[in-house]
């Protein structure tokens, strides 16, 4: 994706490449989403809804007719109408004309404050987008672990922890993940800004004292209850997080459920047999084999822990000593199964204690509006910016505003070809 900022005064153009701008910020990158094929083939667009057929099982019109006997009775396969609704995302930008003029050449990738603002807006937009597509369709980024009364310090519950929260971001709290209400945090406040995050203890310090209850969800301020895109965790689910997927009830149609092995809620140690059992259970239901494993860095480190053998360092010649080089090539980590090499992929925004087995060829992303700036055609020749309205609404202010927006969603056509290991001991991320 390239975002263009054009100046009409001299017809110069600055290109903001997502890869260049986000390169130093790993947790704003979107490796999971980038690996999904863009396609709406076989789908019907109905307004902002994509509709497609999802086959649940074949028609078993089979039998053993005698010589001269009758054919077997035909049986119909079963399919349901699945629906994916497009979801709108945005990130807003504001800069005063005085700040832009005074800060020219102060430094950034582009050397000016407007460039810095654009880069920041792009990073936070991609951060939100990545977390939502790794989420479960509600926009919940964390869960409160324990009641906190009139304090700026809140502990978040695992496995979500604080991995999807960011310093400087504003969040609101809701009592239920679906169908609840945004809660008053005290003194009429409904949002709070994060000042610091301790990932070792899953502790967040906010900019004000707030009162919250255990189990409340944490959402980007102003987003609770609004439409969100599907994510990895509601597509790979069995009803624990979402009752339905693609407008299909999971209880009525269990064929849309993934295989979720959670050890009855108790922690379980990572080992090869556990991964093999997940693959066995998935392939009992379908001939399709998962093609990728996804987890956070902690679970990938558990794979290291389990597979790292004793090392022998051999002295080759007289007086020579070994360098004791250790480690592993992360890009080459894989599990071999059924003649297939399944690589381990990592995203630090994925909750702790979880390993997801995905059938990636079944994934599709659907873009209605590509990510881009809304063109205002105005302020100081910047086609992506405009003057903000004045407080009274009669004139305009000396603040320039812009909005980066996109609209889309994702789907999957082989839901039961996927699964997950949950409650896996995670020393790296959960400190188990």
Tens-of-pLDDT digits for all 432 residues of the chain?
Answer: 334 444 333 333 445 555 555 555 556 677 888 889 998 888 888 888 989 888 888 888 889 998 888 999 988 888 889 999 999 999 988 888 777 666 555 544 455 777 778 888 888 998 999 999 999 999 999 999 999 999 999 999 999 999 999 999 999 999 999 999 999 999 888 999 999 999 999 999 999 999 999 999 999 999 999 999 999 999 999 999 999 999 999 999 999 999 999 999 999 999 999 999 999 999 999 999 999 999 999 999 898 888 776 666 666 666 676 677 777 777 788 999 988 999 999 999 999 999 999 999 999 999 888 888 887 654 444 567 778 888 877 888 888 888 889 999 999 999 999 999 999 999 999 999
Same domain, 100 and 202: no
Q: What local confidence, expressed as pLDDT, does residue 34 receive?
A: 85
| pLDDT value for 132 | 95
The SS3 assignment for 247 reads coil
Q: Which tens digits make up the pLDDT trace of 153-166?
A: 999 999 999 999 99
Distance CA(425)–CA(432), nearest Å, equals 6
| Domain assignment present for 338 | yes
Domain count, the chain: 3
pLDDT computed for residue 21 by the predictor: 52
* Whether residue 30 sits in one domain with residue 96: yes
71 found inside a domain? no
Angstrom CA distances, 151 to 168, 209, 210, 322, 430, stand at 18, 4, 5, 54, 24
Contact 430, 379 (CB under 8 A): no
166 and 211 inside one domain? yes
48 assigned to some structural domain: no
- In the prediction, which pLDDT does 317 show? 65
Cβ–Cβ under 8 Å, residues 375 and 384: yes
pTM: 0.88
> What is the C-alpha to C-alpha distance for residues 218 and 390, in angstroms, rounded to an integer?
32
78 within domain boundaries: no
Alpha-carbon span 186 to 75, nearest angstrom? 61
Whether residues 276 and 403 share a domain: the answer is no
Distance CA 26, CA 82 (A): 34
- The pair of structure tokens assigned to 216 is 């409340």
289: CATH: 3.30.2320
Q: Is residue 229 part of a domain?
A: no
Question: How high is the pLDDT of residue 394?
Answer: 80
93 and 166 fall within a common domain: no
Range of the domain at 193: 140-220
- Whether 172 and 273 map to the same domain: the answer is no
Report the run of H or E that residue 96 belongs to, with start and end: strand 87-96
Residue range 63-80, pLDDT digits in tens: 999 888 899 998 888 888
Strand partners, 44: 51
Could you tell me if 206 and 351 lie in one domain?
no
In this structure, is residue 98 part of a structural domain?
yes
Tell whether 285 is covered by a domain.
yes
113 & 145 share domain: no
Most distant CA atoms of the chain, gap in Å: 94
Whether residues 114 and 188 share a domain: the answer is: no
Q: Does 380 share its domain with 405? A: yes
Within a domain: 69: no
Domain match, 172 and 201 both: yes
Same domain, 285 and 418: yes
pLDDT of residue 325: 72
The rounded distance, in Å, linking the Cα atoms of 52 and 179 is: 27
């Amino acid at each position: 994706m390239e975002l263009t900022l054009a100046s009409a005064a001299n017809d110069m153009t600055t290109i903001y490449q997502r890869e260049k701008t986000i390169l130093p910020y790993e947790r704003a990158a979107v490796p999971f989403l980038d690996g999904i094929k863009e396609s709406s083939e076989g789908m019907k667009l109905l307004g902002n809804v994509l509709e497609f057929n999802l086959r649940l099982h074949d028609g078993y019109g089979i039998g053993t007719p005698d010589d001269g006997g009758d054919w077997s009775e035909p049986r119909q396969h079963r399919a349901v109408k699945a629906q994916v609704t497009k979801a709108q995302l945005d990130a807003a930008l504001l800069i005063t004309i005085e700040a832009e003029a005074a800060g020219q050449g102060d430094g950034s990738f582009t050397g000016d404050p407007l460039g810095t603002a654009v880069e920041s807006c792009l990073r936070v937009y991609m951060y939100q987008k990545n977390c939502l597509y790794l989420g479960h369709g509600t926009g919940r980024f964390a869960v409160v672990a324990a009641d906190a009364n009139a304090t700026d310090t809140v502990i978040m519950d695992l496995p979500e922890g604080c991995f999807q929260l960011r310093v400087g971001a504003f969040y609101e709290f809701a009592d239920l993940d679906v169908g609840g209400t945004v809660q008053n945090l005290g003194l009429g406040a409904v949002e709070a800004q994060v000042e610091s995050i301790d990932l070792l203890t899953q502790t967040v310090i906010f900019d004000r004292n707030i009162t919250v209850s255990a189990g409340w969800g944490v959402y980007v301020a102003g987003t609770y209850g609004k439409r969100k895109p599907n994510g990895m965790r509601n597509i790979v689910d069995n009803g624990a997080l979402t009752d339905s997927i693609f407008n299909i009830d999971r209880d009525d149609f269990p064929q849309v459920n993934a295989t979720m092995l959670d050890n009855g809620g108790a922690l379980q140690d990572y080992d090869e047999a556990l991964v093999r059992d997940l693959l066995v259970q998935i392939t009992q239901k379908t001939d399709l084999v998962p093609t990728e494993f996804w987890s956070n860095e902690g679970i990938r480190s558990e794979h290291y822990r389990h597979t790292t053998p004793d090392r022998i360092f051999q002295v080759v010649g007289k007086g020579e000593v070994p360098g004791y080089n250790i480690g592993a090539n992360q890009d080459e980590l894989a599990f071999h199964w059924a003649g297939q090499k399944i690589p381990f992929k990592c995203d630090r925004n994925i909750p702790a204690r979880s390993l997801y087995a995905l059938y990636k060829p079944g994934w599709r992303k659907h873009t209605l509006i590509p990510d881009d700036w809304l063109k205002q055609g105005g302020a100081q020749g910047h086609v992506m910016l405009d003057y903000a309205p004045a407080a009274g609404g009669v004139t305009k202010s000396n603040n320039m505003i812009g909005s980066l927006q996109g609209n889309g969603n994702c789907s999957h056509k082989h839901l039961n070809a996927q699964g997950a290991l949950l409650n896996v001991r995670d020393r790296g991320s959960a400190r188990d």
